Amino acid sequence: MTISTAPVQADAEVLPVEPPAGGNRLFAWLVVAAGAVYFLLPLVTTGYWSLRAVKDTFGFEAYRRVFADPAFVRSFSESVVNAIAAIVLSLLIIVPTAYWVTLRLPRLRPVVEFITLLPFVIPAVVLVFGLIRMYGRPPLLLTRTYDSSRVLLVCAYAALSFPYMYRSVDNGLRAMDVRTLTEAAQSLGASWATILRRVIFPNLRVALLSGALLTFAIVIGELTVALFLAQQTFGPFMANLTRSKVYEPAAMALVAFAITWAALGLIAFLTRPRHKVTR
C-alpha cells in the first residue's frame, strides 16, 4: 500500500513529458478542460453563492458575518491550538520512533509503516467509538469533562497525522546518513538527547515542516471525531452553520479551502529544490 507524498519529497523531480502530436494535443486539452470544470465548477458556484448574501448585489457580506461571529473566532482558534498540540505530540512520538527504526531496527520498518498507515484504513467513526469505549469508562473517564475530552481529541488527531508525519520524517531520515552522523556525534561525546536535538531534528527541519503543515490542514476542519467528542471546534462549527444559514457556509467552505491550500503551498515553497542552503 502506498500513498502519494508528492509535496513532501524535497528532491522529487518532474519527469519531462513528450508533447503529444497534432490530434493528440487537442484530446489532451479536452481532458484537462474536463478535469478543470469538474474541480473548479463547484468552487466557482460556491464562490458565486457566497457573494450573494445581499439580495441582487455582489458583496462580501457573508464573509463579514462569518468573521464577526464570535463562535467562528472561538472555534477556529480552538482548532488551531488543537492542531499545534497534535503536531507536537505527533513529532515527539514519530521522530524518535522513526530514528530508532532507521538506526537499530531496520527490519521493523515495514511493521511501523503499516501501523502508521492504520488511520487510513480505520474510519474516523470507528476510531472515535473505540476511543470513547476505551477511555470513557473508569478508571480513566477522559470523556467526563470538555477539557479531558479535548485531550482525547488531540491524541486522536496525533494518530490521524501518523501516516503523513511518518512518511515525511522517514523521507528526511533516508536523505541523510543517520547511522554515521549518530556515530560521529557519539564519538564526540554527545548523548542521545543531544544527538536528537542538535543533529537529527535540525537536519529534518524541512521534512518536519511538511509533516506539520499536512497535519494542520487535516486537523483544522476535522468533523467526525470532534463531533462525537462534543468539541466545539471549527469542523462542527461549519457543520452547524450549514444547518442554520444559507450563504455563510459557502463563504466558510472557501475560507477552509484557502487555509488548506495555503498550508500545501507553504510546503511546496519550503521543500522546493535548492542548490544552495539558505539560512
Partner 1 sequence: MKAFLSLNGVRKEFAGSVAVEGFTLDVTEGEFVSFLGPSGCGKTTTLRMVAGFEVPTTGRITLAGEDITYAKPNQRNVGMVFQSYALFPNMTVAHNVAFGLRVRKEQAAARDERVAQLLELIHLPDKGDAYPHQLSGGQQQRVALARALAIRPKVLLLDEPLSALDAKIRDELRYEIRRIQQELNITTIYVTHDQEEALALSDRVVVMSRGRIEQVGPPFEVYNNPATAFVASFVGQLNRLSAVVTNSASGTVRVGDSEVRTTSPVDAPGGSEVFLMLRPEELTLDDQADNVLTGKVDTVTFLGSIVRVQVAVNGGRLTADLFNERLLRLPVAGESTLISFPAHACWVMSRESH
Residues that bind partner 1 (CB under 8 A): 176-177, 180-181, 183-191, 194, 198-199, 202-203, 205, 277
Q: Which C-beta is closer to partner 1: that of 81 or that of 177?
A: 177
Shortest approach of partner 1 to residue 185 CB, angstroms? Answer: 7
Q: Which C-beta is closer to partner 1: that of 68 or that of 188?
A: 188
Structure-block grid coordinates of residue 219: 486537523
Shortest approach of partner 1 to residue 80 CB, angstroms? Answer: 29
Structure-block grid coordinates of residue 165: 508525519
SS3 per residue for the chain: CCCCCCCCCCCCCCCCCCCCCHHHHHHHHHHHHHHHHHHHHHHHHHHHHHCCCCCCCCCCHHHHHHHHCHHHHHHHHHHHHHHHHHHHHHHHHHHHHHHHHHHCCHHHHHHHHHHHHHHHHCCHHHHHHHHHHHHCCCCCCCCCCHHHHHHHHHHHHHHHHHHHHHHHHHHHHHCCCHHHHHHHHHHCCCCHHHHHHHHHHHHCHHHHHHHHHHHHHHHHCCCHHHHHCCCCCHHHHHHHHHHHCCCHHHHHHHHHHHHHHHHHHHHHHHCCCCCCCCC
Asked whether 225 and 128 are in contact (CB, 8 A), the reply is yes
Q: Which C-beta is closer to partner 1: that of 95 or that of 238?
A: 95
Q: Which C-beta is closer to partner 1: that of 154 or that of 185?
A: 185
Q: Which C-beta is closer to partner 1: that of 243 or that of 275?
A: 275
Q: Which C-beta is closer to partner 1: that of 201 or that of 257?
A: 201
**CB neighbours of residue 62 within 10 Å:** 23
Q: Which C-beta is closer to partner 1: that of 156 or that of 209?
A: 209
Shortest approach of partner 1 to residue 18 CB, angstroms? Answer: 34
Shortest approach of partner 1 to residue 273 CB, angstroms? Answer: 14
Shortest approach of partner 1 to residue 209 CB, angstroms? Answer: 14
Number of residues that this document lists for the chain: 279
Shortest approach of partner 1 to residue 94 CB, angstroms? Answer: 20
Q: Which C-beta is closer to partner 1: that of 89 or that of 190?
A: 190
Shortest approach of partner 1 to residue 96 CB, angstroms? Answer: 18
Please tell me the distance from the alpha carbon of residue 250 to that of residue 224, in angstroms, as a whole number. Answer: 20
Shortest approach of partner 1 to residue 100 CB, angstroms? Answer: 16
